[in-house]
Amino acid sequence: MTCLPGHTEKKLGLAIDLDTCVGCHACVTACKGWNDQGYGVPLSDQDAYGADPSGVFLNRVHGYQVQPDTGGAAQTINFPRSCLHCEDAPCVTVCPTGASYKRVEDGIVLVNEDACIGCGLCAWACPYGAREMDADAGVMKKCTLCVDRIYNENLPEEDREPACVRTCPTGARHFGDFNDPTSKVSKLTAARGGFDLMPEMGTKPTNKYLPPRPKDQRQEASLLAPLLDIEAKGFAGWLDRILGKI
């Protein structure tokens, strides 16, 4: 049993725009690439060229088909999923060794791999399926919010953001401090009605999802009016009318 900090100085996290995500998986492999050589052990792949390849990804994108209740056209929603860095993170409190912890300074939920025994309790406790066991190293892996990028003095200032945010081609991923009401993520969340994933779980996720804007809104009231009755006036009549407008 591990304790959560009562309060964190910052609440770093992501605001993910479901209105803009095209499901391209750029964030998935940028994350894999960075973290394969970043914090902790590499993200191993098993049977990489085989019949049942499986590897660790700290971020995955799922596509869903949605049929609106209102009866409109069906939609495809792309939904990136990774650790939400919850305030009440059940993955931390369930950890028997203290390996899982939430950082006091920024709220990032991390795994101290030296203390992780690979029991997998945290993955069971996480309602979001955000943790993945590394089969090679036997330790639990999860999104670190690129803790080895965001403060990294060896990187140019503009690159001190998570790899998934830096790479996202549509700009659907935003990084910042949710404790700061003037931050971009706080403002976007306020403006766009950013929501918690599965709030009923009581985990108080830090990451927010910005909902898709309403789709298929038709404006049939403003249809174009014909210049004139072409059937009655003929093509010559149409030509005279339109060119008279020059």
Q: Which residues ranging from 10 to 39 are in contact with another protein (CB under 8 A)?
A: 17, 19-26, 28-30, 32-34, 36-39
Among 7, 88, 104, 117, binds another protein (CB under 8 A): 104
Query: Residue type for 213, please?
Result: R
Nearer to another protein, 4 or 130 (CB): 4
Least Å distance between CB 29 and another protein? 4
CA distances from 169 to 87, 89, 95, 161 (A): 29, 30, 36, 15
Least Å distance between CB 204 and another protein? 19
**Nearest-angstrom CA–CA distance, 51 and 20:** 34
Residue 12 in contact with residue 177, Cβ under 8 Å? yes
Q: Which stretch binds another protein (CB under 8 A): 80-88, 96-104, 126-134, 200-208?
A: 96-104
CA diameter of the chain: 87
Closest to 208 measured CA to CA, from 182, 164, 176, 167 = 176
Nearer to another protein, 199 or 213 (CB): 213
**Nearest-angstrom CA–CA distance, 97 and 119:** 10
Nearer to another protein, 5 or 127 (CB): 5
**Binding of another protein at residue 177 (CB under 8 A)?**
no
Least Å distance between CB 137 and another protein? 17
**Binding of another protein at residue 47 (CB under 8 A)?**
yes
- For residue 89, the Cα-to-chain-centroid distance in whole angstroms is 18
**Binding of another protein at residue 101 (CB under 8 A)?**
yes
**Binding of another protein at residue 158 (CB under 8 A)?**
yes
Nearer to another protein, 171 or 182 (CB): 171
Regarding beta strands 109-111 and 59-66, do their DSSP bridges make them parallel or antiparallel, or are they unpaired?
unpaired
Closest to 127 measured CA to CA, from 201, 204, 194 = 201
**Binding of another protein at residue 54 (CB under 8 A)?**
yes
Size of the residue set binding another protein (CB under 8 A): 92
**Binding of another protein at residue 246 (CB under 8 A)?**
yes
**Binding of another protein at residue 44 (CB under 8 A)?**
no
Window 191 to 220, contacts with another protein (CB under 8 A): 212-213, 215-220
- For residue 130, the Cα-to-chain-centroid distance in whole angstroms is 12
Burial environment of residue 125 by CB neighbours within 10 A (0 to 12, 13 to 18, 19 or more): middle
**Nearest-angstrom CA–CA distance, 205 and 203:** 6
Window 130 to 149, contacts with another protein (CB under 8 A): 147-148
**Binding of another protein at residue 224 (CB under 8 A)?**
yes
Window 55 to 94, contacts with another protein (CB under 8 A): 55, 57, 63, 65-67, 73-78
